[in-house]
Amino acid sequence: MARGRRYEKLMGTIARFARIAIPAALLLAAAIFVPIKLFDQRGFERVEKLERDLAQIEETNRALDRENESLRLQIRAFHSDPEYIEKVARDELGMVGPDESIYQFPEGDKQ
């Protein structure tokens, strides 16, 4: 019976030690590893490069958001504005109305 109590007491001591020692060891490892990675040759350089990359990506996202909004406005205009549809048909597709004539002159001497 005494042996069982000693075993339980030993296991309790080991469990208490593990509850304290494991988090302490992880904290100590982080306290050593993080500064080493930050202060090594490329630590801060890498952080600065990542920040520059992030800023560039965010600017690209803002530009794409502006372009998306412009396209949304064009879509709305195509669905609701006949004058816009006519303007696009004339300017981009070269279309003319049924009562209109197109005159093309050769590009030659302009005297």
When divided into structural domains, the chain yields a total of 2
Pair 52, 86 in one domain: yes
The secondary element (H helix, E strand) that includes residue 16 is helix 2-39
Where is pLDDT greater, at 56 or 18? 56
Determine the Cα–Cα distance for residues 77 and 88; give it in Å rounded to an integer. Answer: 11
Residues 53/47, Cβ–Cβ less than 8 Å? no
Does residue 105 form part of some domain?
no
Pair 20, 51 in one domain: no
How much is the pTM? 0.48
Reference 73, options 56, 53, 88; nearest CA is: 88
Where is pLDDT greater, at 110 or 25? 25
Determine the Cα–Cα distance for residues 100 and 48; give it in Å rounded to an integer. Answer: 62
Pair 89, 45 in one domain: yes
Pair 48, 76 in one domain: yes
Pair 22, 66 in one domain: no
Type of residue at 98: P
Give the structural domain span for 5: 1-32
Does residue 25 form part of some domain?
yes
Amino acid 34: pLDDT: 80
Determine the Cα–Cα distance for residues 86 and 69; give it in Å rounded to an integer. Answer: 22
